[in-house]
Amino acid sequence: MAVKATGESVGAREAARILGVKLPTLYAYASRGLVQSLPGPYGRARRYRVADLERLKARRDARAGHGPLAAGALRFGEPVLDSALTEIGEGGPAYRGHAAIELAAEGASYEAVAELLWTGQLPTGRPDWGERHFGVKVDALEPVLPASLSPLEGLSLAVPLLAPQDPGRFDLRSDAVIPRARALIQRLAAALSPHLAKSRIEAAMAGKTVARAAAIALGAGRGQDGVQAIERALVLCADHELNASAFAARVAASTGADLYACVSAALGAISGPRHGGAADRVEALVSEIGRPEDAERVVYERARRGEGVEGFAHPLYPDGDPRGFALLELARELAPRSRAVRTCLALVEVMEIGGKGLATLDVGLVAISGALGLPRGGPVGLFALGRSAGWVAHALEQYEAGYLVRPRARYQRDAP
d(CA 127, CA 144): 37
Burial tier of 128 (Cβ tally within 10 Å: 0-12, 13-18, 19+): exposed
Helix, strand, coil fractions of the chain, as percent rounded to 5? 60, 5, 35
Residues assigned a catalytic role: 314, 362
DSSP 214-268: HHHHHT--SHHHHHHHHHHHHHHHS--SS-HHHHHHHHHHHTT--HHHHHHHHHH
- Which residues 6+ apart lie within 8 Å of 282 measured at CB? 310, 311, 362, 363, 366, 379
d(CA 249, CA 270): 11
DSSP 73-135: HTTT-S--S--SSEEEETTEEEETTEEHHHHHHTT--HHHHHHHHHHS---SS---------S
d(CA 413, CA 416): 9
d(CA 158, CA 272): 18
Backbone φ and ψ of 39, nearest 5°: -70, 135
Q: Which long-range contacts (CB under 8 A, 24 or more apart) does 80-86 make?
A: 80/242, 80/407, 81/242, 81/250, 81/405, 83/241, 83/242, 83/394, 83/397, 84/120, 84/397, 85/117, 85/239, 85/241, 85/390, 85/393, 85/394, 85/397, 86/117, 86/239, 86/240, 86/241, 86/390
- Which residues 6+ apart lie within 8 Å of 338 measured at CB? 331, 370, 371
Q: What's CA 81's distance to the chain center, in Å?
A: 15
Q: How far is CA 281 from CA 31, 209, 393, in A?
A: 60, 29, 28
